[in-house]
Each structure stands twice: as structure tokens, then as C-alpha cells.
A and B are shown apart, each in its own frame.
Chain A
Amino acid sequence: MDFRLSDDQRALRRGVRDLLDGRFGREALRAAVDREGRLDRKLWRELGDAGFFALRLPEDDGGAGLGLSEAALVFEEAGRALLPGPLVATHLAAGFVPGAADGTLIVTAVSELDCLVQHFDDAGTVVAFASDGTPHAVDASEAVAVRSLDPLTPLHRLPRPCAPEAPGQLPLGAAVLLTAAEQLGSAARSTEEAVRHAKGRVQFGRPIGGFQAVGHLCAEMLVRTEVARAAVYAAAVRGDLTEIAGAKLLADEAAVRGAKDCLQVFGGMGFTWESEVHLHLKRALLRARMWLTTAQAEEIQAQALASEF
């Protein structure tokens, strides 16, 4: 057992971080907000070229032949950078839907719980995933625009029933896990931003990070992030559905509460449209309802307890 990242995994993470720093830094983030979440197709292609979507496909099929652990690291970086788009859906569609793997086609999915579709106007196709991971095309001709909470994620709603009826269908492990990884990245970023601000902002003649009330908020953000990290990474390694659901539960909490605490540390600045804080919070709230909700995750955990005797 050596739970630490391997050298290759570290290099992968660094590579993705560098790519996103260069191609989707603060300026690009603002521009994306100004475009009301419409996607940058050129960037999407570049993500495809970098292997974002084909990562887990076999090398013979043009993929990188990597596993869920590596994908989790990549999606953690995406979450950190607030990279917009139906990244998880397109990643899962790679290998099934032509064009998804190399980023020429944007694939979005309908969320069965809410019948919501992200990035409908930019997507080339709308799918629903069966629990074995196979995507099925969905008729989205009656999609109606919703005023999305998240400025970076345009939403449409489909009339019910919006996906092939599948009562008792298991959640899609990989989708849940990669979304949890994005939440982890967001939580880590909120923690860093709060700490950076707390070191620089001076009130009462000293940096506000020197006030315990602020320092302890930051410490709790760190704890939630690191507990979620252990959960997400282990779930990625094991691929066990119960563990994945537990990781999503903890990562959702780390991301949502982390963004709220970050807002608190930023004070009035945190409440502005200008700051990045609300973007993390809104996206975290959105992801928390995607693929697996808190209630569902807790019931899966309870079920696991019940099945142990």
C-alpha cells in the first residue's frame, strides 16, 4: 500500500494544471461569464487533444489507457479552474459517441432527477446514460430554457419523462466520482483563496488571518477538503459504488461549505459579482444535485450498513 500519488500521477496533475492556468486563467473565466456560459469550442478541442475525454479509452482506440484515479486527478483540476461545460458527460460518451473523444463534439446529458440539461445550445447531442455506462440519445426537441443559478452553466429543462424509465437504476459510478473530484478541486481552491485573502487583508492593524475566528474557518475548510480528498482518491482506486457515493457526499459538503466560508472570509468583496467566490459556490450547488444528491448518497450509505449483517 502506498496511497500517495505516483510520479506519473503527479506529473499528470501538474500538466493539466499548467494547461488550464495557461488556457483558462482568470481573464478567460471572466470572459466565459460575460458570454453567459457559452463554451469556447477552440478550448474544447484543445481539451480533446490533451486527452481530457479519451483519457480512459484503450490506447488502440486513441485513448491514454489510464484509469479512474488519473481521471479523478484531471477532473479535480477542472473543478479548481471552474472549467465550464458538460465535461463529465462528454468524457463518459467518449468511445460511444463519435467526436466526443477528440473534442469535436460536445455531448451533454439529461439529469434524471431534475430533467435538466447543461449547455444545451452548445451541445451536439443530448444523451441519457444507462447504468452500464451506455449513452442513449434523448429527444430534446421540447427543451425549455431555465434561468440558471450558475452563470457558467446554462440550463434547459425537458418535459417528463425525460429519460428512458429505469426504476431503481443504479447511479453511474464514474459520473458520480468525477463530479466529486470536481467538487474536491473547487473546495481546495476556495481554501487557498480564503487563505490568500486572509494573509493580505489588513484590519485592526493586522492581517485578518491572525484573528482566530478567521484562521479556524480556514482550518475547517482544510479539514473538509483533506477528508474529501482521501475519500475521492480511495473511491477512484477502488471503484466501489458505495465508496463513490460516500466520496460525493463529503466532496459536495467540502465544496459548498468551502465556498460559503470563503465568501465569509472575503467580506463584502465576496458578495460581489466581480469575485470568483460566487462562481465556486453556484457551481458547487449545481454539482451537488448532479448524478447523485445528498439524500441519495446518504441512503446508499445506510443501505450499505443494513447489508452488513
Chain B
Amino acid sequence: MDLAYTAAEEEFRARLRDWLADALPTLPPPPPAGDWPARRAYDSDWQRRLYDAGYGNVHRDASPTLRLIFLEETEKAGAPYVGANFVGLLHAGPTIAAEGTPEQRERWLGPILRGEAIWCQGFSEPEAGSDLASLRTKAVRDGDAYVVTGQKIWTSHAEVADWCELLVRTDPGAPRHRGITWLAMPMDAPGVTVRPLRTLAGSAEFAEVFLDEVRVPAANRVGEENDGWRVTMVTLSFERGTAFAGEVVACRRTLDEVAARARANGRWDDPVLRRGLGRLHAEFTALWRLVQWNVSEAAAIGGVPGTGGSVFKLRYSQARQELYDAAAEVLGPGALDLSVPWTRERLSSLSYTIAAGTSQIQRNILAERVLGLPKGR
């Protein structure tokens, strides 16, 4: 049990911290919430700056520990959230790095790291949500391409994405887990139609994606044909295991701000509220330790996080919702005012127990795969 960082890691941290202190004040003001094209431009610009400063490769070549330090320091400094780069940097990119061919890595990772390409995730379908393996979007091989027809839904950032990590059914006759293939689909291909959906938070951050005989080159397949479910598991383990790590640090910052506000407006004197905030402090500290635990395990087994991700995802999603509920307690009437950022965040936090696999599905995974209980009914 060693929580100390090496001299090289500490040096990396110090350099990054210095750079952030210089770079952050030069950033333009963030775009208005909900303006996705502006968001894309802003997030891409930030990623480009990181790349130019030598931090682009953190997501590709660095050890899981360095990547963690990077997430920790950028969040601590209040750097922009990955935003539109979430899929590319945190799960599509890592999947390509782990499962792609050298040419594919060359072709797709560079643009992601330079902030030139935005990715989205085309997994869920209207009839395949939790039961992802029942997906129906079909792909038929035609020469050197797949012809894809079907529909995806809840596709975050689809409106502004260049690429989509797409799951398709390539063998309708095979058992459902054995007929799936993972493709990288260009979003500007003929036959792709994106129709934005409005979320309960009022923004249009996800969309329906209709696919009508879209030709996707066979060279865009990551992993073998019909071996896509295995590749999907790699993607999901990144999504659940490490993609939210930086957010724990961001939540700690928010908690500090909530406590400061409570002291300023007198709510701090309420012992129930104060102790509740105290409990959240313990909670987020422990979640950060759990991240370090999971990263240590991932580093030992070669980079792909294990089922510890489900433990983390379950608890983190709940803690985030509790944090913004506590913030609402502190805000009082501000909790009903949508111009207050915490009020909007409170609404957004409701998606955390649904997206990336619902809490019920995470519990199924733990019960069946970790505890070895029979399949649930």
C-alpha cells in the first residue's frame, strides 16, 4: 500500500501546475450553456493548447498514474472540463489504443489528442438500452465496406461529432453477443441524420441518430468482425472505471464552495446540514482513494480497469446527486432559480445513475460477476 508518487511523477505534477497557472488566465470566457458548436470550439481549443504544451500524449502513452495526476491537477486548477472531448479522450480513444491496429492508432488518436476530432458514442438504441446486446442496427458487408442501417439514441454530442464509435449487428444468426462489431463511423457520411433531443435540463446535449445505408469502410472496424462485444467491454470498463476520476476532484472543489457559502449565509450553524456536508467530505475523500485503488490495479494488469469500476460508478453517481441536493439546501430559494449554476448541475446530476449503465445494471454486474450469484430475475 503505497500512496507516494515517484520523483518523476511529482516533477510532472509540478510542471503541469505551473503551466496551468499561466495558461488558464489566458483562456477566453466559456460559451453559453447549450451552445454546442461554441462548446465544441472552446473544448477543442483547450485540448489544442494542452497538446501544444506537451500534454496531449497523457491520454495515450502515459502510465495510468500519470493520467490520474493529470486529471487531478487540471480539475484542482479549475481547468475546463473535457466536455465535447469526453468520448474521444476518455473511452473511444483508450479503446482504439488498446484494441486498434497501429494504422488505426495513427489515424485516429492524433486528431483526438490535438483537439481536431470530436467523437460520440453510438451504443444505445430505442429497443436496446440496458440490454445493449440486443442491439439491431445492422451492417451488411459489401466489398470493402459495411452498409449500416438502423437507429441510435441518447447519443451525446452527436450534433458536433466527427466520428462515432458505433456498435452494429454483423451476424443476425449468431447468439446475440457473438454477432456484434465495433466500427468507427464518420458522422458526415451520406445517410447519417442527427435529430437533437432536449434533456430535462433544457439543453440539447444528446440526440437521435438515424442511419440509412451508411457506407463505413471495413478498415474502420476495431477488433474482428463479430468480436465487437469484447471490444465493447473494454470501452465500458474505461467509461465506468476511469472516465469519471477527474470529476471526483471537481466535486471536492464544489463541496468546498458549498461549505463556504453555507458559512457565509448562516446555514452552517444547522448541525444536520453541517454534518451532512461533513459526511460528503468523507465520501469524496474515500472515492478518490477508490480511484487510486482502481488505477493501481489497472496499472498492474496492463491498463484496462476491472470490475472495480462498477463499485466506483455506483457510489460516485449517488454521491454526486447528494452533493447537489446539499447545495440546494444551502441555496434556499436559489434552489428554484435556474440561473444559479448549482441548480442546473443538480438537474444534470440526475443522469448519472442512468448514463453509462444504470445503477440497477451496475448492481447486477456486481452480484453476478463479482459475487458469483445466479443471474437475476
Binding site for B on A (CB under 8 A): 1-6, 9, 69, 191, 195, 198-199, 206-207, 209-212, 214-216, 218-220, 222-223, 226-231, 233-234, 236-238, 243, 245-247, 249-250, 295, 297-306, 308-309
Is the C-beta of B174 less than 8 angstroms from some C-beta in chain A? no
Is the C-beta of B7 less than 8 angstroms from some C-beta in chain A? no
Residues on B with C-beta less than 8 A from A3 are 1-3, 289, 292-293, 295-296
The 8 A CB mask of B315-326 against A (1 = contact, 0 = none) is 100000000000
- Rounded to whole Å, the gap between the CB of A237 and the closest CB of chain B is 5
B280 (CB) vs chain A CBs: closest residue: A301
Binding site for A on B (CB under 8 A): 1-6, 9, 65, 255-256, 259-260, 263, 268, 274-279, 281-283, 285-287, 289-290, 292-293, 295-297, 299-300, 308, 311, 314-315, 360, 362-364, 366-368, 370-377
Tell whether, in the assembled complex, residue A227 and residue B286 are in contact, meaning their CB atoms are under 8 Å apart.
yes
Residues on B with C-beta less than 8 A from A226 are 290, 308, 311
Residues on A with C-beta less than 8 A from B268 are 306
Q: Given A211-B377, A309-B260, does the pair A4, B314 have CB atoms closer than 8 Å?
A: no
Residues on B with C-beta less than 8 A from A247 are 282, 286
Residues on B with C-beta less than 8 A from A231 are 282, 285-286, 289
Given contacts A3-B1, A215-B373, A223-B314, 18 further A-B pairs with CB under 8 A are A3-B292, A195-B372, A198-B373, A209-B373, A209-B374, A211-B376, A212-B363, A215-B367, A219-B314, A227-B315, A234-B1, A246-B282, A298-B282, A301-B277, A302-B259, A302-B275, A304-B278, A305-B255
Q: Given A210-B373, A223-B311, does the pair A305, B360 have CB atoms closer than 8 Å?
A: no
Residues on A with C-beta less than 8 A from B1 are 3-6, 9, 69, 233-234, 236-237
**Within the complex, which residue of A195, A212, A245 is in contact with B377, where a contact is CB–CB below 8 Å?**
A212
For the complex, what is the distance from the CA of A218 to the CA of B285, rounded to whole Å?
24
**B-side binding surface: helix, strand, loop or mixed?**
helix
Tell whether, in the assembled complex, residue B360 and residue A216 are in contact, meaning their CB atoms are under 8 Å apart.
yes
Q: Given A1-B65, A3-B2, A223-B311, does the pair A215, B285 have CB atoms closer than 8 Å?
A: no
**Within the complex, which residue of B4, B65, B278, B287 is in contact with A302, where a contact is CB–CB below 8 Å?**
B278
**Within the complex, which residue of B6, B276, B308, B371 is in contact with A218, where a contact is CB–CB below 8 Å?**
B371
Give 18 CB contacts A-B under 8 Å: A3-B289, A209-B367, A212-B376, A215-B364, A215-B373, A216-B376, A219-B367, A226-B290, A227-B311, A228-B286, A230-B293, A233-B1, A247-B286, A250-B286, A299-B275, A302-B259, A302-B275, A306-B268
Tell whether, in the assembled complex, residue A210 and residue B377 are in contact, meaning their CB atoms are under 8 Å apart.
yes
